[in-house]
Copies of this chain bind each other. A is one copy, B any other.
């Protein structure tokens, strides 16, 4: 992470870190400028306006996330283990200076976001929920997981709890709160 050398990726890396730390409305082109060592006008060359930058951030994030899910699918066929790996993905933000994942930060900024960014965000969450629901469904059928209600509802709850776990860990400057919640989510689904 952050090892990119070309200007465009350096801008995206820096902007993403700033969004995950401060939020979409609290970072500026001047902030990126200082960090990357480039003038504000040069950033506007790559991303004419903030909406373009904001959209590029979700799009890249979404693609990287899908790649990570694919890797989990290739890594194991154990549904409970898949879910555990999913919680690891959601720990990446909090583990670095209690950053929030891009999705959580964008969803609180939602109303202030340009429409095209809002749309991309929703699609990102749908990718999350679709994958989770599939794992829940398969896990229940295969006897690897146990839960009441529908797989869709479980997917909703699972994702929501991880998002809230990021918020609580941040508010207490305590990563153990995230681990506590993440661990419980897995335990509750374990069939034994």
Q: Which residues of B contact A112 (CB under 8 A)?
A: 22-23, 26
Contact A170 B22 (CB under 8 A): no
Q: Which residues of B contact A163 (CB under 8 A)?
A: 160, 163-164, 167-168
Q: How far is the CA of A76 from the CA of B188 in the complex (A)?
A: 28
Query: Cβ of A121 < 8 Å from any Cβ of B?
Result: yes
| Chain A, interface SS category | helix
Q: Given A108-B100, A108-B105, A110-B171, decide whether A181 and B156 contact each other with a Cβ distance below 8 A.
A: yes
Q: How many copies of this protein are present in the complex?
A: 2
What is the number of residues of chain A that contact chain B, defined by CB distance less than 8 Å? 46
Comparing A3-11, A36-44, A147-155, the segment that makes contact with chain B is A147-155
Interface flags, A154-189, vs B, CB<8A=1, else 0? 101101111111011011100001001101110110
Return A172 CB to nearest CB of chain B, in Å: 6
Q: Given A22-B112, A171-B107, A171-B122, decide whether A157 and B161 contact each other with a Cβ distance below 8 A.
A: yes
Which residues of A does B touch, CB under 8 Å? 21-23, 25-26, 98, 100, 104-105, 107-112, 121-122, 125, 147-149, 152-154, 156-157, 159-165, 167-168, 170-172, 177, 180-181, 183-185, 187-188
